[in-house]
Amino acid sequence: MHPLLRLLALYRRHLGLAAVVIVGLGLVNFAQPATAWLVGRAVEALRDGSAVRRLADGSLDASGAWFWVWILVGVTVLRGLLQYGATIVAMVLGQRLLHTLRDRIFDAVQHLDLAWHRTHGAGEVINRTTRDSDLVRDAIVGGSRSLFELLMVVVGTLGLLLWYHWLLALVPTLLVVTAIAIMKGQASRLVALDRAAAESYDAVSQELSEGVNGVRVIKAFALEGQRVERFTGKVDAFTAKARAAIRYTAARLPFPQLIVSLGHVWVLGCGGWLVTRGELTPGDLIAAMMVIQGLVFRVEAIGWLVRMFADASSSAGRIVEILDAKPTIAQGSQGGAEARREIPAGPLGVRLENVVVRIAGRPVLDGVDLTLEPGTITALVGATGSGKTTLAQLVPRLRDPESGRVLVRGGAGEWIDLRAFDPQAWRRRCQMAFQEAFLFSDTMAANLRLVRPEADEAEVREALRLAAADEVAAGLSEGLEGRIGERGVTLSGGQRQRVCLARALLARPAVLVLDDATSALDAVTEARVLANLRSHLANTAVLMVCAKPATCAAADRVLMLRAGRIAAAGTHASLSAGDPLYRDLLGLDREVAA
């Protein structure tokens, strides 16, 4: 099914409003040929003397003429009221449709996993939610309305012409069919041009987003001129593609409009000939000219309609790509009885068995085995690009391995495949804090309570204390109710990391994964955080991706990842003493030399 027709199905949620619009517009547009017919009857009444009569005393009786005046005024007023009402309802329908469409897109984007988001930038997603949704709404509501009105005018016009004489309707019908065929042949090319322009606009939005979000880096390296030049280049590329679409429209769409306009000439010539033969009255000819003039007037907007639907078709295709995208990790992904298993209560262990992950065909993890036991802290180290973050993402199931299994063990001692659980329910038990700490533009308390909305103030403050972030909240003018700015811009990198760690701790996780989540902390603060984790997470299995010797020393054991495998395992002390690769990785010999 065509993407635009699929999105048109969203009307089913607003069928009542859609029916009101259709009925109203149908009456309005059928009133146009009816008005022309009435004008023709009025003209004939004037010609045969029934509208204005001379009385015996020589005065004129114009009551018949006033009858036709009031009839035409009444029809015009009624048509205007119907037009006004249908327009208001169509506007309401358009806003509701836009709301529904954007909700569907946002819902789909939120449920797509990281594998999808890695290949689709924020600018692209924002454009599809805003610009593309607006274009689809305009076509489905405004465009469909105009198309429906045009159809009503065509049917009414050709029907009235056929009523008067079949010759009057013959040529205009052929001209309309020919124009439609020509425009249909042009539409696919115009859709392709508009899609290219839309994709170029995505690049503009992405560049703008990076220019705003990366403004500190840009200023730090004096890159303002370079970024402006890059942005200008993106805008120029978009402008060139938009102009190509406009040129195509301007060069080709006037021709079918001209073809339909020839119907005006035909009705005038053929109608005059029929009048001379006595097969058509002058009043009927005037009515025929009025309706064909209305048709020509409507057809003048057909180029705008074609362009609108071409834009909307391109945008609908881009939106449907999001709606049709299937997350590789879906809620209750196994779908059977096993997918409904409850996550065991109490402490949980996690095991990776012969896990393999490939990215772009290259094995990042190749047969990894490890076990995270409750109450233990496991440090994971490795060179840049060794797959540490990829491995860490397997535990909260932000991605799945190509082969191998991730298992969870509860109090009963049974190892259960992680895919048997609802991913959302699992992530509430398994929290992850990232190196790139992200905070929403909201209050400190709101950011923390995202994981546990019911948490009271005492619990919030305890989580902040464990993450050594209590002084961060104290430093805000309004404390926990102080706003921290977009993406936490008002806080330093270390402060954001501590607040994000506090958020994870507030969830009381059974499993905690820290992906270099303390990298921006100074040694004293990090030691305090690690000590708090040790003393207050007695039943939590902790996995820390790290690169600092002090962090590794705080762990119960250290795993060294190399070439996609666990190359070494042991305590920090044992690896430091017996593994030169480990010492080199952490720079221990360089520290001694210094």
Distance of CA 578 to the CA centre of its chain: 53
What are the tens digits of pLDDT across the range 113-129?
777 777 777 777 888 88
Choose among 33, 72, 76: nearest CA to 292. Answer: 33
- What are the DSSP calls for 25-63, one per residue? HHHHHHHHHHHHHHHHHHHHHHHTTSSSEE-TTS-EE-H
CA pair distance 323, 350, nearest whole angstrom: 33
| Residue found by looking up tokens 């890059």 in the block | 230
Give the bridge partners for 61, in sequence order: 53
CA pair distance 230, 223, nearest whole angstrom: 11
Judge whether 504 and 433 are in contact, CB under 8 Å.
yes
What are the tens digits of pLDDT across the range 492-514?
888 889 999 999 999 999 999 99
Judge whether 25 and 31 are in contact, CB under 8 Å.
no
pLDDT of residue 315: 83
Q: Where are the domains of the chain?
A: 3-324, 348-593
| Residue found by looking up tokens 């000939």 in the block | 273
205 vs 511, which has greater pLDDT? 511
- What are the DSSP calls for 83-142, one per residue? HHHHHHHHHHHHHHHHHHHHHHHHHHHHHS-HHHHTTS-HHHHHHHHTHHHHHHHIIIII
pLDDT of residue 346: 87
Own/partner contacts of 488-493, CB < 8 Å, gap of 24 or more, are 488/437, 488/438, 488/439, 491/439, 492/520, 493/437, 493/520
Q: Which two tokens stand for residue 386?
A: 């060794």
Q: Quick check: 338 pLDDT over 50?
A: no
For residue 594, the 8-state DSSP code is: -
Judge whether 189 and 123 are in contact, CB under 8 Å.
no
Which pLDDT band holds residue 486 (cuts at 50, 70, 90)? low
CA pair distance 164, 168, nearest whole angstrom: 7
Phi, psi for 491 (deg, rounded to 5): -110, 155
- pTM above 0.85? no
Q: What is the mean predicted confidence (pLDDT) over 415-434?
A: 90
Q: What is the mean predicted confidence (pLDDT) over 363-386?
A: 92
Q: What is the mean predicted confidence (pLDDT) over 323-352?
A: 73
Q: What is the mean predicted confidence (pLDDT) over 515-532?
A: 89
CA pair distance 252, 348, nearest whole angstrom: 68
Choose among 289, 292, 121, 107: nearest CA to 210. Answer: 121
Phi, psi for 58 (deg, rounded to 5): 95, -10
Return the CATH architecture of domain 3-324. Up-down Bundle (1.20)
Which pLDDT band holds residue 333 (cuts at 50, 70, 90)? very low
Q: Which two tokens stand for residue 35?
A: 């008005």
Q: What is the mean predicted confidence (pLDDT) over 388-392?
A: 92
Distance of CA 8 to the CA centre of its chain: 17
Give the C-alpha distances (Å, rounded to integers) separating 109 from 202, 334, 336, 348, 440: 16, 21, 25, 30, 17
Average pLDDT, the chain: 83
Q: Which two tokens stand for residue 73?
A: 């005024």
CA pair distance 550, 582, nearest whole angstrom: 14
Q: Quick check: 461 pLDDT over 70?
A: yes
Q: Quick check: 592 pLDDT over 60?
A: no
Give the C-alpha distances (Å, rounded to integers) separating 99 from 104, 127, 133: 9, 15, 9
Q: Quick check: 239 pLDDT over 80?
A: yes
CA pair distance 561, 386, nearest whole angstrom: 6
CA pair distance 425, 263, nearest whole angstrom: 67
Which uninterrupted H or E stretch holds 373?
Answer: none
Answer positive or negative: Cα dihedral of 477, 479, 482, 485: positive
Give the bridge partners for 483, in sequence order: 443
For residue 483, the 8-state DSSP code is: B
Helix, strand, coil abundance in the chain, percent, nearest 5: 65, 10, 25
| Residue found by looking up tokens 């039943």 in the block | 539
What is the bridge-based pairing of β-strands 377-382 and 541-545? parallel
The fold of the 348-593 domain, in CATH, is Rossmann fold (3.40.50)
For residue 143, the 8-state DSSP code is: I
Answer positive or negative: Cα dihedral of 409, 415, 416, 419: positive
Which pLDDT band holds residue 417 (cuts at 50, 70, 90)? very high
Q: Which two tokens stand for residue 416?
A: 């259960």
CA pair distance 547, 555, nearest whole angstrom: 12
Give the C-alpha distances (Å, rounded to integers) separating 507 from 63, 198, 372, 393: 85, 42, 19, 18
485 vs 288, which has greater pLDDT? 288
Q: What is the mean predicted confidence (pLDDT) over 486-497?
A: 78
What are the tens digits of pLDDT across the range 250-281?
777 677 777 877 887 888 888 889 888 888 88
